[in-house]
Amino acid sequence: MSSMIVAAEVILTSPSRNFVTLKVTTDDGVVGWGDATLNGRELAVASYLKDHLAPLLIGRDAQRVEDTWQYFYRGVYWRRGPVTMAAIGAVDLALWDIKGKLAGQPVYQLLGGAVRMRILAYTHASGWDTPELLDSVDEKLDRGFLAVRAQSGVPGLDTVYGVHHGEVSYEPAGRGKRPVEETWDTAAYLRHAPTMLAAVREHVGPEIALLHDAHHRLTPNQAARLGKALEPVDLFWLEDVTPAENQEVLRRVREQTTTPLAIGEVFNTIWDCKDLITGQYIDYIRTCVMHAGGISHARRIFDLAALYQVGAAPHGPSDVSPITLAASLHLGLATPNFAIQEFMGYEPIDDEVFRHDYTYKSGYLHPGDAPGLGVELDEKLAARYPYNPAYLPVARKRDGTMTDW
């Protein structure tokens, strides 16, 4: 049964932050929604969709999800990269949404059905100093979370990744037409992180899963040193210890420490992480279900990971929309080696603009059983919040050298 695509529109909205949404409509009036949000490069993906992919979608059979993926990956010659793969990911999510709606089934049923009843969630706790961080951890535990990521300020630094200045939730992209420049000092961070995380472990006891994100800033040797120092803290994972463009360097880190390693949120195809997985250099692959080309490609990455006992733990911060989070949960419910879902939650206005069927309860998430992905964009409400330029910061060392933010 075919279902012809008659329209494909890109909708930019900025309730609490910028989101890019793809709306695909078929000749029988079924609408599929895809997320195409790439923090700080939203307009690039919007243009890639509007100017290059949307015109090619018209007239295609919406049911041919995989052929469309192949057409946009192999057929456009210039492959891979965050903008291309986020655009392909948005199309893929919209088509899976349509397929589920046409079948009257939630997408996880189309992926083979549930292999678990619910999905373990982790959320972000942060504080400028350790007491403030512990208060933030307690607030998350009070909400039932069983897994918490802990990030704190670093003595001597005015700004640090993952720690907000009192706003309700942490949004790293600053409004304005130029990125904020932050100063970074790895030595200061390495002196502080082990004590800070040991204090959190001491505070929460042995059962709570603790995570920490080093956010791409260490050399392999610094990563090994931090991993070893954190072994007594028994982290669920230490994330993004190095930029990992050179996947081979993780072998050295792996040989030095048993602290579990998670990498992958900035990767967008299986090629970016093949060696990390097949070499078993990591314990969790973090590729985002939309940035890595959608459900159709992310599931291939997660299946490769399963062969090497690497867990799937997709990126899911509040700077991808509830559509991506929902897709992550549908894939998560049907994927045997799915480990944990990042869930920061959204601002109330985001939840109004993106009405969703997924639920959070006592530390776990479920995608719900609405046909498709279970998220609908309120276009009228979305139109009230125009795109507002915002960029992720850049980081420089104290001597001014550019470094990884």
161 is catalytic: yes
35 binds ligand GCO (CB under 6 A): no
39 binds ligand GCO (CB under 6 A): yes
213 binds Mg ion (CB under 5 A): yes
Active-site pick, 73, 108, 122, 161: 161
322 binds ligand GCO (CB under 6 A): no
- Residue whose C-alpha is closest to residue 330's, from 111, 180, 149: 111
Query: Smallest distance, Å, CB 340 to ligand GCO?
Result: 12
265 binds ligand GCO (CB under 6 A): yes
Q: Write phi, then psi, for 194 (nearest 5 degrees).
A: -60, -40
Among Mg ion, ligand GCO, none, residue 283 binds (CB under 5-8 Å by kind): none
Integer Rg of the chain from CA: 20
308 is catalytic: no
Query: Smallest distance, Å, CB 172 to ligand GCO?
Result: 5
Query: Smallest distance, Å, CB 216 to ligand GCO?
Result: 8
Q: Which is nearer to Mg ion, 171 or 213 (CB)?
A: 213
From residue 53, alpha-carbon distances to 57, 58, 291, 357, 381 in Å are: 6, 9, 16, 28, 26
HEC profile for 320-376?
CCHHHHHHHHHHHHCCCCECCEECCCCCHHHHHHEEECCEEECCEEECCCCCECCEE
E-assigned strand segments in 27-158 = 31-35, 119-127, 147-152
Q: What angle do CA 158, 160, 166 make, to 5 degrees?
A: 80
Q: Which is nearer to Mg ion, 243 or 368 (CB)?
A: 243
Footprint of ligand GCO on residues 209-238 (CB under 6 A)?
Answer: 213, 215
* Residue selected from 319, 350, 357, 376 as contacting ligand GCO according to rule CB under 6 A: 319
Give CA–CA dist 27/20, Å, rounded: 23
* Residue selected from 11, 103, 141, 392 as contacting ligand GCO according to rule CB under 6 A: 392
Sole window of 20-28, 49-57, 212-220, 246-254 interacting with Mg ion (rule: CB under 5 A): 212-220
Sole window of 23-31, 105-113, 156-164, 257-265 interacting with Mg ion (rule: CB under 5 A): 257-265
Q: What torsion do the CA atoms of 320, 26, 92, 381 make, to the nearest 10 degrees? A: 0
Residue 323 in contact with residue 375, Cβ under 8 Å? Answer: yes
CA atoms lying within 13 Å on the CB side of residue 200: 34
Footprint of Mg ion on residues 260-299 (CB under 5 A)?
Answer: 265
Footprint of ligand GCO on residues 164-183 (CB under 6 A)?
Answer: 172
Q: Which residues bind ligand GCO (CB under 6 A)?
A: 39, 172, 213, 215, 265, 315, 317, 319, 342, 392
Active site residues: 161, 215
Q: Which residues bind Mg ion (CB under 5 A)?
A: 213, 265
